[in-house]
């Protein structure tokens, strides 16, 4: 039997953030897919294997968990070059979308197929059998609706296959994925864990551990507000809203197209314009540097006002709150607008993560901490079981 490998994966609406093994490998793939044909045209196919696999993910995905099975997709960077791209729509449930599973399976297959993992997974011809212990999450709203159980059941107990078609280095390889365990965590709780604990779940932020905290996680399609009290998420007061940044990003993309005649491939291109360190809120139009401040400021300020209203309403219902942390990729986009609104209006005690990577990778880091803690506890329990004849302790399952 092949070994089980740790995977902590945040299927974000903008991109997938994944951490594998003992923190030795990370993946970040844009959450974009496009249906495709088996023999996609490639210029210079003899040079295919010299290219980066992440720029040419072309796969067939087979799984009983999918509504549309055995379909061929371009994924991530390659999908952005198609004119039939699919991104998750506002109002959709992450747990019920095929795209969530396609991205999850493809990300795992991109790890399993690496040469560095040849000693972990069994390979027979061009087929790799890969087993994972997965930590992932869903928006608070979906967990409160009980959708996490259905999502987990679609993953566990089935074999999911990703076949690499015209993908650099991996063409013709099939990866069979099985899950030894899947833990699905509510995103608000995960954010809290990441705030106060290190990778060994030791408390690193004693100032926060017993405070009453709000965590407003602004994603692409939704916003979760976790209410932390007595070191736990208050399930009754925690809320999820169908309000994210995706709709605003699409609006910016469309207005740039109408006003300047510039076609942006995806929402991610819009995010880059909004967050880049130099020439922020500028695009190139016919070779000339052009400001789009008028478009971005109007649309993002309107969204920030809606987000601030959510904060105000939640704080009023939890008047003894001491601080609110804004996390997630959406908070990174709206940070300046939310700070300006707060300074001119209520003046709540709010904070952001100035390290953009820390904010964007917060969920994946939290899932990693939680799934490794689950494995540690599981191994301790197994170690307590004594062999009836020899008295030797049973060895815990090898998880890498």
Question: Are both 181 and 222 inside the same structural domain?
Answer: no
Q: Is residue 394 included in any domain, yes or no?
A: no
Q: Name the stretches of the chain with pLDDT < 70.
A: 1-2, 41-47, 90-91, 354-356, 385-400
Do 47 and 128 lie in one domain? The reply is yes
Same domain, 136 and 58: yes
**What CA–CA distance (Å, rounded) separates 181 from 183?**
7
Residue 204 belongs to a domain: no
Asked if residue 16 is part of any domain, the answer here is yes
Please report whether residue 335 resides in a domain.
yes
- Dig out the tokens for 227 from the structure: 């209410």
Q: Which of 1, 25, 31, 26 is nearest to 13 (CA)?
A: 31
| Count: domains in the chain | 2
Same domain, 137 and 232: no
- What is the bridge-based pairing of β-strands 4-11 and 127-138? parallel
Residues 40 and 174 in one domain: yes
**Does any domain span residue 258?**
yes
45 and 129 inside one domain: yes
Tell me, yes or no, whether 23 and 159 share the same domain.
Answer: yes
Other CB atoms within 10 A of residue 208 CB: 17
- Look at residue 392 and tell me if it is in a domain: no
* 341's tokens: 């609104």
Does residue 125 lie in a domain region?
A: yes
349 plus 377 within the same structural domain: no
Q: In terms of domains, do 179 and 314 share one?
A: no
Give me the pLDDT at residue 47, please.
Answer: 67
Query: For the segment 238-260, what is each residue's pLDDT rounded down to a tens digit?
Result: 787 888 898 999 999 999 999 99
Given a contact cutoff of 8 angstroms between Cβ atoms, the answer to whether 66 and 98 are in contact is yes
| pLDDT tens digits, 9-45 | 999 888 899 999 998 999 999 999 999 888 776 655 5
Residue 387 lies in a domain: no
CA separation, residue 250 to residues 34, 84, 220, 290 (Å):
17, 15, 11, 19
137 and 81 belong to one structural domain: yes
**37-44 LR contacts (CB < 8 Å, sep 24+):** 37/72, 38/72, 38/165, 39/166, 40/74, 40/165, 40/166, 42/166
**In a shared domain, residues 312 and 370:** no
SS3 category, 51: coil
CATH number at residue 165: 3.30.420.40
Q: Are residues 124 and 250 in the same domain?
A: no
Q: Which residues form the domain of 83?
A: 4-187+363-382
């Amino acid at each position: 039997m092949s070994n089980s490998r740790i995977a902590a994966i945040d299927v974000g609406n903008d991109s997938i953030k994944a951490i594998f093994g003992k923190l030795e490998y990370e993946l970040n793939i844009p959450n974009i897919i496009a249906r495709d044909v088996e023999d996609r045209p490639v210029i210079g196919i003899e040079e295919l294997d010299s290219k980066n696999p992440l720029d040419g993910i072309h796969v067939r995905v087979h799984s009983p968990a999918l509504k549309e099975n055995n379909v061929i997709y371009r994924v991530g960077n390659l999908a952005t070059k198609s004119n039939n791209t699919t991104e998750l729509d506002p109002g959709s449930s992450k747990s019920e979308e095929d795209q969530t599973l396609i991205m999850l399976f493809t990300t795992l297959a991109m790890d399993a197929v690496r040469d560095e993992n040849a000693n972990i997974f069994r390979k027979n011809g061009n087929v790799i059998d890969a087993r994972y212990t997965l930590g992932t999450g869903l928006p608070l709203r979906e967990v409160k609706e009980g959708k996490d159980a259905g999502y987990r059941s679609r993953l566990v107990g089935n074999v999911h296959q990703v076949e690499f078609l015209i993908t650099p280095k991996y063409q013709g390889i099939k990866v069979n994925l099985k899950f030894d365990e899947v833990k699905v965590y509510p995103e608000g709780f995960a954010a809290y864990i990441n705030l106060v604990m290190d990778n060994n779940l030791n408390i690193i932020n004693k100032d926060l551990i017993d405070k009453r905290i709000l965590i407003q996680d602004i994603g692409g399609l939704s916003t979760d507000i976790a209410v932390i009290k007595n070191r736990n998420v208050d399930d009754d007061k925690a809320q999820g809203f169908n309000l994210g940044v995706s709709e605003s990003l699409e609006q910016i993309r469309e207005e740039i197209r109408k006003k300047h005649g510039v076609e942006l491939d995806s929402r991610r291109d819009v995010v880059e314009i909004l967050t880049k360190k130099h020439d922020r809120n500028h695009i190139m139009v016919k070779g000339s540097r052009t400001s789009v401040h008028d478009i971005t400021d109007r649309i993002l300020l309107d969204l920030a006002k809606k987000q601030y209203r959510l904060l105000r309403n939640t704080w009023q219902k939890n008047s003894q709150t001491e601080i609110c942390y804004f996390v997630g990729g959406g908070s990174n986009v709206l940070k300046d607008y939310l700070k300006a609104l707060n300074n001119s209006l209520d003046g709540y005690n709010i904070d952001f993560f100035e390290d953009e990577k820390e904010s964007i990778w917060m969920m994946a880091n939290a899932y990693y901490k939680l799934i490794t803690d689950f494995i540690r506890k599981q191994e301790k329990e197994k170690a307590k079981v004594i062999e009836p004849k020899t008295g030797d302790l049973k060895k815990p399952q090898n998880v890498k």
